[in-house]
Amino acid sequence: MALFEALVVVHVITGAVGLTAFWGPIVTRKGAANHRKWGRAACYGFLGAGTLAIVMALLSLYGPDYRHPEVTDRALYEGLFGWMMLYLGVLTIGFVDYGLAVVRHSRNRRALRSFRYQAVIAAVVISGAWCGFYGLQVGHPLMVLVAFIGIAAMVIQQVFIWRPSDPPRSTYVGEHFRALIGMGISAYTAFLSVGLIRYVPEHVFNPAVWAGPSVIGVSLILYFTVKGKRAAAPKPSAARPHPQ
């Protein structure tokens, strides 16, 4: 199908931009011009890849033919290349949207309670819940794990959005960073578990392929969270000499 193959090509290009630029904001100084430049490139790349992933997932679910002969189980095919791919596309878009929004509305957190942002979070939760349920139906527990991670992330976001008291300003930076790391986790998971198995189908059920991006991403979140808290902690004043 020419349309599907064209979508794959554009999806690979946008995904490659996002997967490559993703590391730029991590290694550059936070808030600097290079940090913002790399961050925009990663966000735009992942937005394009996530949108195309949704379109291709719908074509895989409702299209007229099979596109991955290495997966002979039709129910499993619909789970991996249909519902899970759709969910990961929505999840990636959700992370990008939230990561940019917490910076844009750093002085007005209540703006994140509007229908525009809540609808995106709801879409992630609904698609994730269906992905997890479908994973249980076809006996694929790693689909359930991927769904759980995304839904848990949305719950954490909602706790921040709806907390009654305004948090310290530095908290917005942490939310921004955590969301964009999550963006990378979902994109790399999609690339490894859905895209790469086209070439190495024998690893379709390899837990390392599925869990690897989450392990690395969560480790980065923990590392930079601890580092940020140490940097923000008040420095102890120099000890005053005791009077003689």
Q: CB of 194 within 8 A of CB of 89? A: no
Quick check: 203 pLDDT over 60?
no
The confidence score (pLDDT) of residue 239 equals 45
Better-scored residue on pLDDT, 69 or 58? 58
For residue 188, give the nearest of 207, 206, 209 by alpha carbon: 209
pTM value?
Answer: 0.77
Give the mean model confidence (pLDDT) for residues 21-35.
Answer: 79
d(CA 185, CA 96): 12
Mean local confidence (pLDDT), 223-228 = 53
Share of the chain above pLDDT 90, in %: 13
**Ranges 55-69, 74-88, 172-186, 192-206, most confident:** 74-88
Whether 153 and 93 have beta carbons less than 8 Å apart is answered as: no
Backbone angles phi, psi at 107, to 5 degrees: -100, 0
- In the chain, domain spans: 2-231
For residue 173, give both structure tokens: 């930076």
Q: Give the pLDDT confidence score for residue 134 in this predicted structure.
A: 92
pLDDT digits (tens, 9 = 90+) for 180-199: 777 777 777 666 655 555 55
